[in-house]
Structure 1
């Protein structure tokens, strides 16, 4: 519909009052958006009143979605004014942001539950613990422990860097603190979380605030795009992988395989104590589907018994590590399964370690130097 055109049928336009009612905002808010050029009704009724077209309503939906996630009007104007983004792109971005917010909400619930447990035992709650429950240190639940436990594992890094081949320009998508960024290449990092960006060390590669599903780079901008243990956090993993394929001539992704029948039983922690892990990855794309999306081959990446990177599977031969709070906080799985499941799993594991049942059940692990626990390197 042309801007300023007469809208003929009632289903083709919506009055300001009707849109305000449907969107649960005030007419004054809509008038303000009109005045600043954020959302302007582009049609008119037969009686000459200004009216919202379907495209106008779609734009308003995007504006309100970003607004309710805390974006300022100036930021929103830039987002919805991007000519390269369509409605689907905005929906995927909003979905990713909402998933991140849900993870933060779950983390806050976990922090509050821990404080309630402490208070129920009659123990004193420290100021640090109080601030954590209020959310001042909320991201500690899902990423703040990275600087102490999520270090570069040299043997895994060697596999990733070897897969980069002769690439000179590297895009690291979902870069986090940059643990696996090669020092001998020209690296550009992409990380949507401001909290994670702040944890990047001094001298780290320049970092762009963006999501994998919508990379702000032209086609073929990099020799290679890499993503390390991050795809499962994306709102739309397949869209993110296709974006990596678009902006780089090669792609290297460290991810997880859920294709193998009975994959949950590869790791004793998910088999015996945390079967809910399967639910966490219920919507995760198949390894075959991810490989097909970028034209990749898959290679297993065994986890060394003394893995320096505190990823979820790192302590497969050091089970007592999972009893430590800071170790669990560095792996998002624990937050996603919820505090009750976490407490049950930790209690059960502690009991089995104390009784010797864990050692008896997993005696075959004692002599292994590395274990295949589902990590896969996709190389395209």
Structure 2
């Protein structure tokens, strides 16, 4: 515990951090983390700010970054402690997704070997290569196709824009034809799945767009803001690089929004925690310059397999390939996912789901909280 001067000795810090004193001395020598206090006996000691920096250094190191890369990350003048935490959270989620995909691939091989099936060497290596990434993102292009009615609404919002930057572009489902489009996508997995002939794609994050002010007529973002480290910062960047902004996102301002969709209301209450840090619709609108919000109804036969797409086709949520193309399922964790799928399956078989949601059968579209912000 810190004393009245709020400093920690090197030995105590090594004990707390689970590293050796030698490691801390090395970080001091290379200027990575330098203790800035002194004990009454004159020994160097760590203040709270030093401890925070050490936490960031060790977190990045344990994610596999080299010392030079770590130094660049922690010395980034545009990132404060909160930005580092969000970045680390995103990296850890990617690591978790990779681990989940590897476990799934290994389970398939275990099942095959248990049945006496020989697994060829190239498939064994595939667990660490392309097959692993296919397991994570392969379902995306299979189920996340362009929904024509969404595309029409987005196209109308784009107006007569000639140059468009698509931020968080993914595989490019909603990139408009007949315009000069530049895509921005930080994920190598998603960039690799962009079809031949798609718009040129830049590897960058929404919060740090590598473009000049007002470089584009319109900046667009479709169902991606919830993936960003700092949504408000990303939206402000969109406002900076474009004269107009169009964003398809989700509304959590409306009272009772958690009960709009039967899946989150009855089976997956953890969805609320997924959006716990998500900015309000009003806050997002202000970030892009006072946008108007248009409801985006989800048609019953929605072609884009986003989270809400199957509101009138509940059996789809029992399919692994459908769930893997939606980040919500990964973010709530495997235990919540298994429980939700089991309960939904039970209710579909017993007829309870149909009885509880009989009013949905007569609807062609539903307002489930999707909103198009246009500024």
Q: CA deviation at 1:96?
A: 3.1
- Residue 282 of structure 2 aligns to a residue whose secondary structure is helix
Q: CA deviation at 1:130?
A: 7.4
Alignment partner, residue 180 of structure 1: 174
Alignment partner, residue 100 of structure 1: 94
Specify which of 199, 209, 213 is matched with residue 215 of structure 1: 209
Alignment partner, residue 224 of structure 1: 218
Alignment partner, residue 247 of structure 2: 253
Work out whether residues 208 and 234 of structure 2, in 8 Å CA contact, stay in contact via their aligned partners in 1: yes
Work out whether residues 161 and 182 of structure 1, in 8 Å CA contact, stay in contact via their aligned partners in 2: yes
Alignment partner, residue 351 of structure 1: 346
Q: CA deviation at 1:149?
A: 0.8
Specify which of 125, 144, 151 is matched with residue 145 of structure 2: 151
Against the structure 1 CA distance between its residues 183 and 15, is the aligned structure 2 distance closer, same or farther, given a 3 Å change threshold?
farther
TM-score (norm 1): 0.77
- Residue 366 of structure 1 aligns to a residue whose secondary structure is helix
CA distance in 1, matches of 2:337, 2:16: 41
Q: CA deviation at 1:320?
A: 2.0
CA distance in 2, matches of 1:230, 1:65: 26
- Residue 347 of structure 1 aligns to a residue whose secondary structure is helix
String of CA shifts for 1:325-344, please: whole Å, max 9, x gaps.
Answer: 11111111222222233233
Q: Unaligned 5+ residue runs, structure 1?
A: 1-10
- Residue 171 of structure 1 aligns to a residue whose secondary structure is strand
Specify which of 356, 360, 367 is matched with residue 355 of structure 2: 360
Higher mean C-alpha displacement, 304-313 vs 54-63 = 54-63
Please say if 1:310 is aligned against 2:277: no
Q: CA deviation at 1:135?
A: 8.5
Q: Give the 5 Å matches for 1:123-134.
A: 127=119
Q: Unaligned 5+ residue runs, structure 2?
A: none
Work out whether residues 9 and 44 of structure 2, in 8 Å CA contact, stay in contact via their aligned partners in 1: yes
CA distance in 2, matches of 1:115, 1:55: 47
Specify which of 329, 337, 341 is matched with residue 332 of structure 2: 337
Specify which of 268, 277, 288 is matched with residue 271 of structure 2: 277
Work out whether residues 291 and 297 of structure 1, in 8 Å CA contact, stay in contact via their aligned partners in 2: yes
Against the structure 1 CA distance between its residues 289 and 102, is the aligned structure 2 distance closer, same or farther, given a 3 Å change threshold?
farther
Alignment partner, residue 293 of structure 1: 287
String of CA shifts for 1:125-156, please: whole Å, max 9, x gaps.
Answer: 88599778879744455532111111111110
- Residue 253 of structure 1 aligns to a residue whose secondary structure is strand
Against the structure 1 CA distance between its residues 22 and 356, is the aligned structure 2 distance closer, same or farther, given a 3 Å change threshold?
closer
Work out whether residues 28 and 35 of structure 2, in 8 Å CA contact, stay in contact via their aligned partners in 1: no
CA RMSD of aligned residues (A): 4.1
Work out whether residues 313 and 373 of structure 1, in 8 Å CA contact, stay in contact via their aligned partners in 2: yes
Higher mean C-alpha displacement, 177-186 vs 299-308 = 177-186
Specify which of 193, 201, 205 is matched with residue 195 of structure 2: 201
Q: CA deviation at 1:308?
A: 1.1
Work out whether residues 13 and 43 of structure 1, in 8 Å CA contact, stay in contact via their aligned partners in 2: no
Against the structure 1 CA distance between its residues 115 and 27, is the aligned structure 2 distance closer, same or farther, given a 3 Å change threshold?
same
CA distance in 1, matches of 2:313, 2:345: 13
